[in-house]
Amino acid sequence: MNFEGLRVHFIGIGGCGMSGLALLLKNRGAVITGSDQSDGDAIARLDQAGIPVRVGPSMQSLPDGTQLVVSSAAIRGDHPEIRAANAKAIESMSYAEALGLAQLGSCAVSIAGTHGKSTTTAMTSWVGIRCGLDPSVIVGATCDQIGGGSRTGAATIPVGSRAGQPGVLVCEACEFNRSFHHHRPTIGLVNNIEEDHLDYYASLAEIIESFRDFARILPSAAQGGKLLIAEDGAHRREVTAGLDCEVATFGFSPESDFQVIYDAAVNRVGVLWRGHWLASWTNRMPGSHNALNSAAAAIINNWLGADWDEIAVALEEFGGLDRRSQKLGERTLAHGANIAVFDDYGHHPTECEKTLKALRAAEQPRRLICVFEPHQHSRTRFLLDQFASCFAQADEVIVPHIYFVRDSEVEKTRVSAQDLVDRLEAKGTKSLHLGSFDDIVDYLESNCRDGDLVVTMGAGPVNKIAKDFLRRGGTQSRLVRRGGASPGESHSEAVA
């Protein structure tokens, strides 16, 4: 689609995906305006790019000349700016619909799966940048190495076996609300499929069907369509049945087309193609799940024309992204105890379990204390038994109130943080419920011991606890900045 000169207004522009798409369309010639209820880093980046954003209460009218309105998934149909668009017969669409239009005419790569979308998207993007493919990128998290959460790359692929073909656009493909059905990818990835978003989907079978419908969007093999799907954990037989695109599998199983070899002791990853060695690298991000994420990023970039040796070098340089096994810093308490502080976005049982296992193996703390903020009452209720079993790697779990988002007030009454604590205690995991973030910071101050690792975990604002805990240490806290180093540079540490 030609966006040159099109006047587009974004409602809820402050999100990672929305702000990334706004920047992409601006660089394609669109005239962009936006609005959001709250300020933030994304709004600051938009301001630097010359995109005016109104922060605060909703506007009752749209900027003069608006021709298209794009709204985030959080915006309801009765939003004042949506009503203003309807009153003037201005076309409006969701973020996913607009992203699908932006993918047309490019070699679009859509990264799907219950877990690992942001990490794999960032890895894929960094490797493409480092290997000279110059991709455009929209990722749902901040990664300094790729310029934040988005970038605009070349209109055509500059180098490699596909040089001169339409430029690459790498983006996440979210299954909630079936939004990824609006994507128009050339290459698709399905990392894994599990029960989630059960406030929207009725069953796992319905989720699998939704992923199958996503895979069917891919063009035929003759038109260049490719699907990379996990050999295990992605219900590949159901998803790939009857597809016209080329299909390849990856995973630890020798039956995979691309077999992934992982040495957890040194975090070394290797990939074989039907028994033939391709490449190996050492991940900075720990865990078997990140071994698979990096392998997927490597395979996709090779499909895009990158050389295996260059791919391996790029993956060794990838420093990570915000809120994914991210070390925020270290703190020395008044009694001399040294505490490592991490943060992670995990909010599904599988994510929590794998992240905790990886942190314990990589960091080897004396104790691992997890502050887990459940995200959504419906998710907590539907997956309560799974949550009760996924924290076995933690020595202690502290649970604040459930983060309330998207559910009804009735749903809010059906489960509580104390319900999760009771289930954890029944499973033998030491845990307690402290509703206030300040109370949790006080508890950590009083109870942490030398050699402890504290990790805040959840999709809500739980990382504020980690930051406040470090901030109280003043000059006794060492803050870690990661992910922004140039190739060959080390990541810096600064004293707060």
Domain of residue 258, CATH code:
3.40.1190.10
Instruction: Fill in the amino acid letter for 204.
Output: L
One domain, residues 350 and 310 = no
Kindly give the confidence (pLDDT) of every residue in the chain, 496 residues in length, as a single tens digit, with 9 standing for 90 and above: 789 999 999 999 988 889 989 999 999 999 999 999 888 888 998 999 999 999 998 888 899 999 999 999 888 888 999 999 999 999 999 999 999 999 999 999 999 999 899 999 999 999 999 999 999 999 888 888 888 878 889 999 999 999 999 999 999 999 988 999 999 999 999 999 998 888 889 999 999 999 999 999 999 999 999 999 999 999 999 999 999 999 999 999 999 999 999 999 999 999 999 889 999 999 999 899 999 999 999 999 999 999 999 999 999 999 988 888 899 999 999 888 999 999 998 898 998 998 999 899 889 999 999 999 999 999 999 999 999 999 999 999 999 999 998 889 999 999 999 999 999 999 999 999 998 999 999 999 999 999 999 999 998 999 999 999 999 887 667 777 654 433 333 222 222 2
**Domain end: 71, 93, 115, which one?**
93
Q: Domain range for residue 21?
A: 7-93
Ramachandran area for residue 364 (φ above 0: left; ψ -120 to 50: alpha; else beta): left
One domain, residues 27 and 78 = yes
Give the integer Cα–Cα distance in Å for 295 and 123: 10
Q: Are strands 338-344 and 326-332 parallel, antiparallel or unpaired?
A: antiparallel
**Tally of domains within the chain:** 3
One domain, residues 122 and 67 = no
Q: Cβ contacts of residue 438 below 8 Å, gap of 6+?
A: 468
Neighbouring C-beta atoms of residue 64, cutoff 10 Å: 7
Here the CATH number for the domain that contains residue 373 is 3.90.190.20
**Domain end: 269, 299, 317, which one?**
317
**Domain end: 317, 334, 365, which one?**
317
